[in-house]
Amino acid sequence: MNIPILDLKRQFRQIKSEVDKNVREVLASGSYILGKNVSAFEEEFAEYCRGKYAIGVASGTDALKIALRACGIGKEDEVITTPFTFVATTEAIHSVGARIVFADIDMDSYTIDPQEIEKKITKKTKAIICVHLYGQPCDMRTLRGLSRKYNLKLIEDCAQAAGAEYKGKRVAVFGDVGCFSFFPSKNLGAFGDGGIIVTNNKQIAENARVFRVYGSRNKYEHIVHGLNSRLDELQAAILRVKLRYLDQWNEARRKNTACYNKKFCALEERGLVITPKEQKGTKHVYHLYVLRAKQRDALMDFLKTRGVGTAYHYPIPLHLQEVYKCMEHQEGDFPKSELAAGEILSLPLFPELKKKEIDYIADCVYQFYRNRK
């Protein structure tokens, strides 16, 4: 078999006629920037998240940048986040002139550990960015408690977690702002870049709308330095179609994950792999299926020879990246993030993945470990 880690062509075939219709309507309309589809999608996505406001922007990274600025975070403020995430999270902090402060993760969820956050809070701390990594919600009850106790802004990086839930509520509405990416590989992905900000705070929403269009409320009247960061009308039209399928696709991801986990029970009992676990009171949407595996690199090479696509998400924690050398962190500073980074391996997972493909992948993993007794 040849099984890619992600196959977007299968998804497109399912929705092709609906997407084609919406795209043709946009092209015929002559309205391509902040048109009716962007407005409609913002309303629909806010309702989906059960939030009051949604502001479409050009990417998930821009969503984070604008959210920080809309919350008043700026030069020399400290923002605490996880070192076990994609670099976009910290690039956003750097872009507004704030100082990045890392706190280690919880090994069961791979999300930021609230107890580690509290150790890092100082008088300069102004915000926390929590990352719902791989589609697993963070411990939002404790994080909200910390943000209120210390008067901090709480920003949710929901890039991998569209549709995920904590205590029956969808992510993005627990903090001050939720930020989503619509990169094509995401659970809700566009046909290019895109992002959105969700908030229940009217002032933050107004600020975000100003920042996304050159710092302007009215055309040619600029009140602050902003960005050119608008969700594209074509992408919004496509996302409106895909949003209707999101819950269905997330359930398929959960079903496929359960199938994987059942397959790997014997290997987990032997301590060779650790399967992803849904934390109590949450609904994990499994943007990725991430194992922790012994002899991870050799397993990855073996699966490649068997036609199975794999990836690392993410192999080098941010505190050990060259770009953050100036922070003078050393190996061992965030041991849980480092341990996870050394063992994680993403296997193919998407809604259209077939059971026979999961069976084949699992058989290949078993074959690898049998050959290494």
Q: Where are the domains of the chain?
A: 8-102+112-243, 246-370
Cis-peptide into 150, omega within 30 deg: no
- Predicted confidence (pLDDT) per residue in 116-143, tens digit: 999 999 999 999 999 999 999 999 999 9
- CATH topology of 8-102+112-243 equal to that of 246-370? no
How far is it, in rounded angstroms, from Cα 207 to Cα 189? Answer: 25
At residue 2, φ and ψ (nearest 5 deg) are -125, 105
- Segment (H or E) for 35: none
Q: What gap in Å lies between CA 179 and CA 159, rounded to an integer? A: 7
pLDDT in tens, 251-299: 999 999 999 999 999 999 999 999 999 999 999 999 999 999 999 999 9
Domain at 246-370, CATH homologous superfamily = Aspartate Aminotransferase, domain 1 (3.90.1150.10)
pLDDT band at 196 (very low <50, low <70, confident <90, very high): very high
**Would you state the pLDDT for residue 373?**
64
Instruction: Give the distance from CA 340 to its chain's centroid.
Output: 17
Task: Give the length of the chain.
Answer: 373
What CATH code would you report for 8-102+112-243? Answer: 3.40.640.10
What is the structure's pLDDT at 101? 98
**Do 109 and 135 contact (CB within 8 A), yes or no?**
no
pLDDT at res. 371: 85
pLDDT tens per residue, range 197-236 = 999 999 999 999 999 999 999 999 999 999 999 999 999 9
Do residues 58 and 195 lie in contact, with contact meaning Cβ atoms separated by under 8 Å? yes
Rounded to two decimals, the pTM is 0.97
The span from the CA of 201 to the CA of 176, in Å, is: 7
pLDDT at 372: 82
pLDDT, average across residues 75-95 = 97
Q: Is the peptide bond before 314 cis (omega within 30 degrees of 0)?
A: yes
